[in-house]
Amino acid sequence: MGIIPFCPRQLQPCEGEQCTERRAEIAVNNFDPVSGLAYLYTPQNISFENASTLCSNQGAFLASINELNQLAHMFTYTDGTGNVQRCPTLFWSTDLSGDPVIVRVMPCSGGNIEVITNFEDCLAHALCVFQ
């Protein structure tokens, strides 16, 4: 019997009902005027290797933890009653040593990001940043 990998769940209980639509909007925009970052966002779960290859093939890099922190504000929306709703989303990134990490933007627990380092072979979204 092999080791069962620990993988964080992409969908979270605090996720608002418009998050799928919000992610689709982010995917077609490709530029965040608040941070000034140009990006390519793929809202589907893929491996770290595929995410890295996707970014490299586009002449971009996986978003750093700092860049994901800057872009996290995009993963919210204001609902019909004026409340800001969070769209927690898992992304591939690398730490300062270049090792893969998963970063959850807009986690249910609050804040902009949560870095997850205890995982095996998991899937997450890719957000590539053009330098």
Can you give the pLDDT at residue 109?
83
Q: What does pLDDT average to over the chain? A: 90
Place of tokens 């004026």: 82
- 3 pLDDT above the threshold of 60: no
Q: For residue 16, give every residue at least 6 positions away whose Cβ sits within 8 Å of its Cβ, in sequence order, or none.
A: 22, 77, 79, 85, 86, 87
Q: What is the pTM of this model?
A: 0.88
Can you give the pLDDT at residue 110?
84
Can you give the pLDDT at residue 8?
77
Q: Which helix (H) or strand (E) covers residue 111, if one does?
A: none
Place of tokens 């330098």: 131
Of residues 41, 25, 57, the one with CA closest to residue 124: 41
Domains and CATH numbers, the chain: 19-130 (3.10.100.10)
Task: Tell me if 127 sits within 8 A of 91, measured CB to CB.
Answer: yes
Q: Which 3 state secondary structure label does DSSP give 113? A: strand
Q: pLDDT over 90 for what percent of the chain?
A: 68
Q: Please state, in angstroms and as integers, the Cα–Cα distance from residue 8 to each residue in 11, 50, 119, following that order.
A: 9, 18, 8
Q: pLDDT over 70 for what percent of the chain?
A: 95
> pLDDT tens, 7-66?
777 777 778 789 999 999 999 999 999 999 999 999 999 999 999 999 999 999 999 999
Q: Which 3 state secondary structure label does DSSP give 32? A: strand
In one-letter notation, the amino acid at residue 70 is Q
Confidence of residue 121 (pLDDT cuts 50, 70, 90): confident
Task: Tell me if 14 sits within 8 A of 110, measured CB to CB.
Answer: no
